[in-house]
A and B are shown apart, each in its own frame.
Chain A
Amino acid sequence: MNARQGLLKRYMALLKMEVEQTMAYRFSFFTSFLAQIVKTLVMLAVWIAVYQRRETVAGFSYSMMLTYLLISQSVNNVYGFMNDAERPISKKIRQGTIGFDLLKPVNFVTARLMENVGKTTLQLIFAVLMFLVFKLCMPSLALPQSPLMALLFAVSLVAGYLIMTFTSLISGLGTFWLMNDWGLRNAKNAIIQFFSGALAPLSMLPGWMQGVMNVLPFKGIVYVPTMIYMGQYDVASALGQIAVQLVWVVIMYALTRLTFGLAIKKISINGG
């Protein structure tokens, strides 16, 4: 067994633990799943009311809007019911148990990412389930136009997940400086919910705001994968959007490593 395989095994072990840990909280897991369905229903109800009086909103027809809402909500669910890759880190920093993580023979950032992938695996299953339930109730819900588009959607989804998770990890590491994670986490969640397109299609926003979106990484989190799913981009521009996402993945990863490097130099481990 070579060293690389050995390392991969270490990370896979963490992934498996996180799956088991999440399943240990069955009640919490199912209730947050249920809450997510309710949230989606509420959003649908609002938009159905809006479309009672008009045919299209900002170029989105009624059925397009329903598809956008359901896909963007499903994508959001894959990333996490509470979008909280930072919460375990913050908790460990505040309690001082982060020392044990730093004492393991693995790369800290990769290890935390793999733990989150473990949690996300279960969320993916539930997001697909939720989508299928809605598809049964609403047969008009669109599927990807071609296998190629489905593939591009999957790639874009993974890229969006990585942008999202690295953003959360940076915010989690911020606890080393602030010793409080609540403010940072809420600010981050508010920004991401709005600027990622999880609440409404970004193309509805005024032009200057879209300009802001285009220089931020967050539209790659929900908006881009959802629009690819809906076939709103042709193959060439879909590939272009994915390329931009991947650039952001690299940048956010580098920033996470940088933040960790700075953190470990100046951190203090709480408690005696």
Chain B
Amino acid sequence: MIKVQNLSKDYVVKLKEKGLKGMAKSLIHTEKKIVHAVQNVNFSIGEGELVGYIGPNGAGKSTTIKMLCGILQPTGGSVSVCGITPSKNRIQNALNVGAVFGQKTQLWWDLPVRETFELLKRMYSIPDAVYQKNMKDFTEYLELTGFVDQPVRQLSLGQRMRCEIAASLLHSPKVLYLDEPTIGLDINVKIKMREFIKRINAERGVTIILTTHDLQDIEELAKRIIVINHGTVGFDGSMKELAARYAGGQHTVSFTLDDEVETIMLPEGMQGHYSLKKDGYHVTITHDAALPASDIITAVVTQYHISDIDIKGPQIEDVVLEVYQQ
């Protein structure tokens, strides 16, 4: 469905020296610097897949999405979406794909949302039956009733984002790009959005690429994750594989003791598999996967009186942070 080969994008950035003198100088001459936003990215995505495309700010996520959309010309490499090159065949590509950019709006600001929907119907030549079916489904799934006749500028962010995603899907595209669709939304709307994304992926088989900084989105939606950092792909695989690869040292067991003690002694055999941090009554033991949490708990409860235990597996935040920091 989507094939990306050796994709690269360079930007030329103008550097301005600081202050009035620098600004004056920049009128005549500016230093330029080339930024490699995306370098040699390769992946291919099958029909009906829902892929999380994540990475830190400035990693090249949006740049990749823009090239997939065909609105940004790659510096090198190739993109193929539904068998065509988006930047060369912009109009045909537009019929195949939909896009939501969480930080931007495609709705007409001063007109009721319904007007934008009607415009899209005509722009994409959507048949009446398809349009009505889609409107009915989206209105039901996203609970759009009550505000589609209000001007867009009067909508809350949550209402607007629900309309954005509906607008991007009205022409029943085969591929949907979601660039930070949940940014700034409250938990209630986020859940609604996630359910909706899951649903259209399952029911309609829409291929979806999702970028987000909310790892909850990724955990709940994406079976496959591509991590991009400094413009290159750092990981491509399932959530489980990602966790397994970076699982070392991420398990923790925390105890709250009844009495303050000098030191905590664990059996000899556990040496090298854990590290220990003590803060008054609180003890946190971080251990690797070779040492089961149950052994630690047994060792501790047989020696000390405890009032509370807390066990944590590898946290997705920690795993992703580790990939980001590479």
Contacts and interface: CB of A to CB of B under 8 A. Distances in A.
Interface stretch (B44-52, B65-73, B255-263): B65-73
A271 B103 contact: yes
Given A107-B91, A272-B57, A6 B125 contact: yes
Contacts of B90: 102
Contacts of B111: 17, 20-21, 24
A20 B101 CA distance: 25
Contacts of A21: 108, 110-111
Contacts of B99: 99-100, 103
Interface in B115-141: 115, 118-119, 122-125
A25 B153 CA distance: 13
A interface, over-half SS? helix
Contact of B123 (A25, A105, A264, A271): A105
A97 B73 contact: no
B148 interface: no
Interface residues of B, number: 36
A239 interface: no
Given A10-B123, A102-B71, A266-B73, A20 B115 contact: yes
Contacts of B212: none
Among B71, B73, B97, B119, chain A packs the most CB atoms within 10 A around the CB of B71
A103 B92 CA distance: 10
A108 to B, nearest CB: 8
A95 to B, nearest CB: 7
Contacts of A97: 104-106
Contacts of A100: 99, 101, 104, 106
Interface string B84-97: 00010011101101
Interface string A108-135: 0000000000000000000000000000
Interface of A: 6, 9-10, 12-14, 16-17, 20-21, 24-25, 95-100, 102-107, 264-269, 271-272
Given A265-B73, A269-B66, 12 more contacts: A10-B122, A10-B124, A17-B119, A100-B99, A103-B94, A103-B99, A105-B95, A266-B73, A271-B103, A271-B104, A272-B58, A272-B103
5 contacts: A10-B122, A10-B123, A102-B90, A104-B123, A272-B57
